[in-house]
Amino acid sequence: MVELKLVKEGITEFFVPSDVKTKDRGPGRKAGVGFYNPAMEESRDLSVLVAQVLVNEIRRDVTILDGLSAVGARGIRIANEVDGAFNVTLNDWNEKAIEIAKRSVEHNRLSNVKTVCENLNVLLCKEKYHYIDIDPFGSPVPYISMAVRSVLPGGILAITATDTATLCGVYKKTCIRRYSSIPLRTWSMHEIGLRILIGYVVREGGRFDRALYPILSYSRDHYMRVFFRVKRGARRADEVVSKIGTTKAYTFDLREKEVGPLWLGDLHDRDFLVSLRGVAREKILGKAKDIDKLLSRCLDEVGMPPLFYDIDALASYFKRSPPKISRMMRLLEEEGYKVSRTHFRDTSFKTDAPLDEVVRVFNDLTI
Average pLDDT, the chain: 96
Say what the pLDDT of residue 31 is: 47
Third-level CATH fold of 309-366: Phenylalanyl-tRNA Synthetase; Chain B, domain 1 (3.30.56)
Third-level CATH fold of 4-301: Rossmann fold (3.40.50)
Identify the band that residue 105 occupies on the pLDDT scale cut at 50, 70 and 90: very high
- Is-contact 130 63, C-beta < 8 A? yes
Say what the pLDDT of residue 32 is: 52
- Determine what percent of the chain is predicted with pLDDT higher than 70: 96
Angle between helices 41-58 and 288-301 (to 10 degrees): 70
Give the whole-angstrom CA distance, residue 170 versus residue 185: 6
CA distance readout (Å), 26 to 22, 45, 223, 257, 294: 12, 17, 9, 30, 18
**Considering Cα of 119, then 121, then 127, then 129, what sign does the dihedral take?**
positive
Contacts of 107 (CB under 8 A, 6+ apart): 6, 13, 14, 15
Give the whole-angstrom CA distance, residue 245 versus residue 250: 17
Give the whole-angstrom CA distance, residue 92 versus residue 101: 10
Give the whole-angstrom CA distance, residue 148 versus residue 228: 10
- Determine what percent of the chain is predicted with pLDDT higher than 90: 93
Q: What pLDDT, in 10s, does the model give residues 252-286?
A: 999 999 999 999 999 999 999 999 999 999 999 99
Domain boundaries, the chain: 4-301, 309-366
Average pLDDT over every residue of 23-29: 54
Centre a 10 Å sphere on the Cβ of residue 218 and count the other Cβ atoms it contains.
23
In one-letter notation, the amino acid at residue 151 is: V
